[in-house]
């Protein structure tokens, strides 16, 4: 008799466990809750304009487009002139940038790299889109010629 009641109790327990597990498993799939939005930011920089105003910019991107039909944006760093070619120095490699003087086709800049090395370089001049990204206030956009300095915020 005890064995029979034990089997009944075990069967009820297992059945309720399976039903409960099935209901809870299906709940997540049929739930109408909105999925969480990722606030992951690729990169952050502090931009100081020529008037001394500082902006914290998230996910910076520089527009190097030659014309409106072929957009060419760089989100991984800066393009510099290296002999007859251009080279990209990534945000991860940079600690600080001082833009020293504008020229016709480029901007002179002093880069302090993350490893402490200092480079005097010519930046490839941006196009009308300039440096863009987002701030806490919304969209941000500035021509590189109006930037005094950039500090890369470590991730």
Q: Look at residue 7 and tell me if it is in a domain.
A: no
If pLDDT is split at 50, 70 and 90, which confidence band does 31 have?
very low
Q: Give the pLDDT confidence score for residue 35 in this predicted structure.
A: 47
Q: Look at residue 62 and tell me if it is in a domain.
A: yes
Q: Look at residue 29 and tell me if it is in a domain.
A: no
DSSP symbols for 112-144: EETTS-EEEEEEEPP-TT-EEEEETTEEEEE-G
Range of the domain at 80: 44-153
Q: Give the pLDDT confidence score for residue 127 in this predicted structure.
A: 87
Within 10 angstroms of residue 68's Cβ, the number of other Cβ atoms is 9
Look at residue 119 and tell me whether its pLDDT is greater than 80: yes
Per the DSSP assignment, residues forming a β-bridge with 140 are 133
Q: Look at residue 134 and tell me if it is in a domain.
A: yes
If pLDDT is split at 50, 70 and 90, which confidence band does 128 have?
confident
Q: Look at residue 1 and tell me if it is in a domain.
A: no
Domain count, the chain: 1
Question: What mean pLDDT is predicted for residues 88-106?
Answer: 87
- pLDDT tens figures, 137-148: 999 999 999 999
Look at residue 116 and tell me whether its pLDDT is greater than 90: yes
What does the radius of gyration of the chain's CA atoms come to, in whole angstroms? 28
Q: Give the pLDDT confidence score for residue 103 in this predicted structure.
A: 67
- pLDDT tens figures, 38-91: 556 689 999 999 999 999 999 999 999 887 777 788 999 999 998 889 999 999
Q: Look at residue 34 and tell me if it is in a domain.
A: no
Question: What mean pLDDT is predicted for residues 79-108?
Answer: 88
**What is the Cα–Cα distance from 24 to 17, expressed in whole angstroms?**
10
Q: Look at residue 11 and tell me if it is in a domain.
A: no
Per the CB < 8 A criterion, the answer to whether 130 and 49 are in contact is no
Q: Which long-range contacts (CB under 8 A, 24 or more apart) does 42-46 make?
A: 42/75, 43/75, 43/91, 43/152, 43/153, 43/155, 44/152, 44/153, 44/155, 45/91, 45/133, 45/150, 45/151, 45/152, 45/153, 46/150, 46/151, 46/153
Q: Look at residue 14 and tell me if it is in a domain.
A: no
């Amino acid at each position: 008799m005890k064995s029979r009641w034990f089997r009944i109790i075990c069967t009820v327990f297992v059945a309720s466990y399976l039903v409960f597990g099935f209901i809870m498993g299906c709940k997540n799939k049929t739930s109408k809750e909105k999925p969480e939005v990722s606030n992951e930011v690729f990169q952050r920089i502090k931009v100081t304009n020529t008037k001394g105003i500082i902006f914290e910019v998230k996910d910076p991107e520089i527009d190097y487009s030659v014309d409106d039909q072929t957009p060419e944006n760089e989100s991984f760093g800066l393009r510099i002139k290296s002999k007859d070619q251009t080279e990209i120095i990534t945000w991860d490699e940079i600690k600080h940038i001082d833009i020293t003087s504008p020229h016709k086709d480029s901007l002179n800049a002093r880069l302090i790299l993350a490893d402490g090395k200092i480079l005097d370089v010519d930046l490839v001049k941006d196009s009308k889109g300039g440096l863009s990204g987002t701030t806490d206030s919304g969209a941000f956009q500035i021509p590189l010629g109006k930037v005094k300095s950039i500090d890369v915020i470590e991730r």
